[in-house]
Structure 1
Amino acid sequence: MAPITHVPHKDIDASLEIPREVCRALGLDNDRQWLRFDELNSFLWPGYDLRKRPGSLDKYDYGLLPKDLFEQLKYGILLRQQKLKAHIISRDD
């Protein structure tokens, strides 16, 4: 899983800003948000730390990324992995 953060990465090639209209469609807050390419999370689904979406009784997800944004994310992750600049962190411990 590629984490979402409010903090831009110092290395501009390590993340992708999520367009505001996508943030709105997903129900994210109004602050700028980035998808990280370099620190990916690995965990069993559903994990012990999975939380319901704020304000929801039964939803855990925020929805799907648009296809073009997903393709940019995938490309960025693969490029970072080829350059050996990506890390996968297990969150099951």
Structure 2
Amino acid sequence: MSVPTRGAVIRYSYLWADESAVGAEEGRKDRPSLVLALAVRKEDGLTEILVLAVTHSPPRTETDGVLLSPDIKRHLGLDDAPSWIVTTEANFFVWPGPDLRPIPGRKPATVVYGHVPDGLLTRVARSYLNNRQRQRNRMVRRTE
């Protein structure tokens, strides 16, 4: 399975920080997640991926997430309900990892819904970095 690029939206068993804090090791729901960053480890050449969850739940404050437009959701093949990319937490894992899930009904089988436009990716990255700078985000490192 090839490594996705930044801006890809993948189907992933996302583990929320609150779930991880109480000992959960598996996400309760497979969901679209945005690949925000990738890094190749020098010592072994493995690729680490940073993903942010896509959710129907509105963020608590405007700075906690970025709204996905209906056009982008349609392009990705997602439902019509409003959705946000959460920028106050992330999952971090070695690609491909055990928590990827094939998208139901897609032929050929794939875990990638598609890609968001560069402008949206930039807005998400700024929001994530601003939350991190203000110490308003949490990272869940997933097992390999």
Residue 67, structure 1, aligned to residue 118, structure 2: yes
> Which has a greater percent of helix?
1
What is the TM-score normalised by the length of structure 2? 0.61
Residue 55, structure 1, aligned to residue 105, structure 2: yes
- Counterpart Cα distance in 1 of 2:59 and 2:143: 25
Where does the alignment leave 5 or more consecutive residues of structure 2 unmatched? 1-50
State the percentage of identical aligned residues.
29
Q: CA RMSD in A?
A: 1.2
Where does the alignment leave 5 or more consecutive residues of structure 1 unmatched? none
- Counterpart Cα distance in 2 of 1:92 and 1:65: 27
What is the TM-score normalised by the length of structure 1? 0.93
- Counterpart Cα distance in 1 of 2:99 and 2:138: 20
Q: 2:79 aligns with which of 4, 24, 29?
A: 29
User: What letter matches 2:143 in structure 1?
Assistant: D
* Higher normalized contact order (CA 8 Å, seq sep 6+, divided by chain length): 1
User: What letter matches 1:42 in structure 2?
Assistant: F
> Which has a greater percent of strand?
2
Instruction: Give 1:32 shift.
Output: 0.7
Q: 1:80 aligns with which of 127, 131, 137?
A: 131
Aligned length: 93
